[in-house]
Structure 1
Amino acid sequence: MSETGERDPVSGRRTTGHEWNGITELDTPVPRGVLMFLIVTHVFAVLWWVLMPAWPLGTSYTQGLLGIDQRATVERELVAATARRADWMARIETAGFDAIRADAALMDVVRSTGARLFGDNCAACHGVDGTGRANYPDLTDADWQWGGGPEAIAETMRVGVNAPHPESRIAQMPAFGRDGMLDRSAVRSVAAYVYALGNPGYSTADTIDTIEAGREVFLTTCAACHGEDGTGEPAIGAPNLTDDYWLYGGDLQSIVTSVHGGRQGHMPTWDERLTDAQIRLLALYVHDLGIAEP
C-alpha cells in the first residue's frame, strides 16, 4: 500500500492515497441527495414514534400524541356498516320471499352479500360455486331433497339434516344388505331395477328378468319412501331415483353400494351461528344460484 494523494486522471477526483493491487481508492463523499434522504428518513421515524402508537411496554404500548387506535377505528367502521345495512337487512328479515325476489335492487344486495356469507359458511362442503363435490349436493341444479324454494332451503338451513336440533330433518337410507334385510341377489336385482329407471336402455333380453325381480323387491321395500314410480317424496327427504341427479353416484355399482350399506348425510344446523335475516338471505342466494323449484 502506498499513499500518493494524487488526482485520478479519469474522474478528476483526488485519491485517498490508498492503493491495493493497483486499484486506487477515490476520495468520493456520500452524495448530498443520499445524505438528505437519510436525514429526512430519520426525522420522519422519530416523528412517527412520537405521534403514532409504536413501542411495546410490557402489557401496553406507547399511545402516540395523535391517540390513533386501529381497533377503535375498525369498531367505528363496523358500527357504521351495520347502520348502513340495517334498512335492507330489515326488509330481508320481514318481507316475503316473492317480494324480495321481485325487487331487483334488493336481489343485487342478496347476490353480493350472499356470496360472502356462502363462502364463509357453506363453500367448504358445497364448493365456492355451489356445485358440490363427492357426497355433497350440487345447489345449482333442479334436484332438491326437501324442495328447492327459498322457504324450504331456509328451513333446512335452520334445523339441519340429521343434526342435534330438535326439529332437524331426518334422512337415512337403511343398510338393506349389511343388516340382512335383503340377500345379495335381492340387493343386486333391486339396484338393477333402480338403475333401469333412469337408463331405459339397460333393459335388454339379458337383464329383463333381473329387473323384473328387482321391481318386486322395490315395491315391497323401497316404494314406501321413494314412491311406486321412484320419483321420491320431498316431504320426507326421499330422493327421486328416475332422474340424472345422484348424490352418491348413479352408476350400477354405486347403487348396489347404497342399497347394501345405506346412506346417511349430515347438514349442520345454522340457527345458532347465523341470524334469521342471514339465513333468509342465504336461502335466497342459494335459490338464485341455479334452476330451483318454485
Structure 2
Amino acid sequence: MSVKDRDPLTGHQTTGHEWNGITELNTRVPRVVWFFILVTHLWALAVWVLLPAWPLVTTSTKGILGLDQREEVAKKVVAANSDRAVWGERIKSLSADEILGDPELFARISDTGPQLFGDNCAGCHGAQATGGPGFPNLIDGAWLWGGDTDTVMETLRVGINAPHPDTRWAQMPAFGRDGLLPRNDIRMVVDYVQSLSGVKSPADTIAAGAEIFATNCTSCHGNDGTGNPDAGAPDLSDGFWIYGGDDEAMFRTIWGGRQGWMPAWEDRLTETERKIITVYLQHVRQDTVK
C-alpha cells in the first residue's frame, strides 16, 4: 500500500500500515498540542535566563534575578533562630504555671511541644504519651521520680540507668531467679500488692503476703507500698502499672526483676527544649485529668 493513499471516508493520507484490515491514518498533530509545546519551550528558556539552572564545573549559572534557594533558606533559619531565642529565654526563666498562663508562650508550647515530643519521645512513650508495656504513661500523674517541672527536667537531662555520670539509677532485684523468694511466696506477694489497689484476694493469703512484703519490699516501696520517688520506686497502691498489674505480669516482674532505661537528653536537647517538653506534658496531663 502506498503512503499517498487516502482514506475514502476522512480524506486523510494513510501511513501505509495495516492490521487486520484496519488502516492507520496519517493525521496532523492538533494545533493546541503545538501551542503547549511552544509555550513550555519558551517558559524553559525564560527560566534558564532568569534563575539558576545549568551546572558548571565548580558552580552553576546564577540567572539574571540572582536567586539562591540555599541563601534564602539560610536567611529564614537565622530569622527563625533569632525569634526563637527571644521567647526561648522567657520560657527558660519562667515557671510552668507562668508559661501556661501567658497566651503567647502557651501558643509556642502548643506548636513546638508536640513536635519535640514526637521526634524524641513518642518512639517509646507513644504519640499520645500514654506509654505501653515497659514504658511509663506520662499523663496519668504517676511518676517514678516525681512530676514537678524541675524533677522532670532533671530526669530528661540525665536519663535513667543511662551512661550519663549523674544518671538516675534504679533496679528491682530478681527475687525468684536469684533465689531470694520461692514461687509460692511470690504468688502471695502478688495477691497482697494487688490488694493495695483494691483487688480482692483471700484474707489469709493477703496476710501472708503482707509479711513477706514487709521483709523484702518495704525498703524501696515503703511500709504502705506508696513508693519512694527519691529511689524511683513506684507506688504500688495507685493502680498504675508499667509492666502490667495482672497475676502473670506481676509474677514475672517479681521473679525476674526490672531495670528500665531512658537515654540522657542533655547532649541532644537544649535546656529550653527539655523545658518545652516538660511543660507540654504537664499541660496534656492537666487536660487529661479534667
Aligned length, in residue pairs: 287
Q: Which amino acid aligns with 1:280?
A: K
CA shift, 1:59, in A, is 5.8
Matched residue SS, 2:200: helix
Distance, in Å, in 1 between the alignment partners of 2:148 and 2:47 is 57
Distance, in Å, in 2 between the alignment partners of 1:155 and 1:7 is 87
Q: Is the 8 A contact 1:6 1:17 kept in 2?
A: no
Residue number in structure 2 paired with 1:171: 170
Q: Is the 8 A contact 2:156 2:266 kept in 1?
A: yes
Distance, in Å, in 1 between the alignment partners of 2:34 and 2:66 is 32
Task: Output one character per residue of 1:167-203: Cα deviation in whole Å (capped at 9) or x when no partner.
Answer: 211111111111222222322222221122223422x
Task: Output one character per residue of 1:127-185: Cα deviation in whole Å (capped at 9) or x when no partner.
Answer: 11111122111112121111122222111111111112222111111111112222223
Mean Cα deviation higher: 94-103 or 265-274: 94-103
Residue number in structure 1 paired with 2:228: 233
Matches within 5 A, 1:122-141: 122-141=121-140
Give the direction of change, closer, same or farther, for the CA distance of 1:201–1:142 in structure 2 (3 Å limit). Answer: same
Distance, in Å, in 2 between the alignment partners of 1:33 and 1:129 is 54
Task: Output one character per residue of 1:189-244: Cα deviation in whole Å (capped at 9) or x when no partner.
Answer: 22221122223422x2xxx3332221111111111111111111112211111122
Distance, in Å, in 2 between the alignment partners of 1:216 and 1:7 is 105
Mean Cα deviation higher: 275-284 or 33-42: 33-42
**TM-score when normalising by structure 2:** 0.89
Distance, in Å, in 1 between the alignment partners of 2:15 and 2:283 is 81
Task: Output one character per residue of 1:68-91: Cα deviation in whole Å (capped at 9) or x when no partner.
Answer: 322221111111111222221111
Percent identity of equivalent pairs: 47
Distance, in Å, in 2 between the alignment partners of 1:104 and 1:15 is 76
**Is 1:287–2:282 an aligned residue pair?**
yes
Distance, in Å, in 1 between the alignment partners of 2:7 and 2:187 is 101
**Is 1:43–2:42 an aligned residue pair?**
yes
Q: Is the 8 A contact 1:146 1:237 kept in 2?
A: yes
Q: Which amino acid aligns with 1:279?
A: R
Residue number in structure 2 paired with 1:91: 90
**Is 1:265–2:260 an aligned residue pair?**
yes
Distance, in Å, in 1 between the alignment partners of 2:70 and 2:110 is 29
Give the direction of change, closer, same or farther, for the CA distance of 1:35–1:164 in structure 2 (3 Å limit). Answer: same
Matched residue SS, 1:142: coil
Give the direction of change, closer, same or farther, for the CA distance of 1:190–1:41 in structure 2 (3 Å limit). Answer: same
Matches within 5 A, 1:103-182: 103-182=102-181
Give the direction of change, closer, same or farther, for the CA distance of 1:6–1:146 in structure 2 (3 Å limit). Answer: closer
Give the direction of change, closer, same or farther, for the CA distance of 1:30–1:225 in structure 2 (3 Å limit). Answer: same
Task: Output one character per residue of 1:27-76: Cα deviation in whole Å (capped at 9) or x when no partner.
Answer: 64322222121122122223323433334446654444433322221111
CA shift, 1:25, in A, is 5.7
**Is 1:242–2:261 an aligned residue pair?**
no
CA shift, 1:7, in A, is 7.8
1:218 to 213, 216, 220: 213
Residue number in structure 1 paired with 2:13: 15
Distance, in Å, in 1 between the alignment partners of 2:82 and 2:15 is 74
What residue ranges of structure 1 are gaps of 5+ in the alignment? none
Mean Cα deviation higher: 221-230 or 17-26: 17-26
Give the direction of change, closer, same or farther, for the CA distance of 1:109–1:3 in structure 2 (3 Å limit). Answer: closer
Q: Which amino acid aligns with 2:259?
A: Q
CA shift, 1:19, in A, is 7.6
RMSD (Å), alpha carbons: 2.5
Q: Is the 8 A contact 2:7 2:14 kept in 1?
A: no
Give the direction of change, closer, same or farther, for the CA distance of 1:85–1:184 in structure 2 (3 Å limit). Answer: same
**TM-score when normalising by structure 1:** 0.88
Distance, in Å, in 1 between the alignment partners of 2:76 and 2:285 is 34
Distance, in Å, in 1 between the alignment partners of 2:183 and 2:226 is 25
Give the direction of change, closer, same or farther, for the CA distance of 1:37–1:221 in structure 2 (3 Å limit). Answer: same
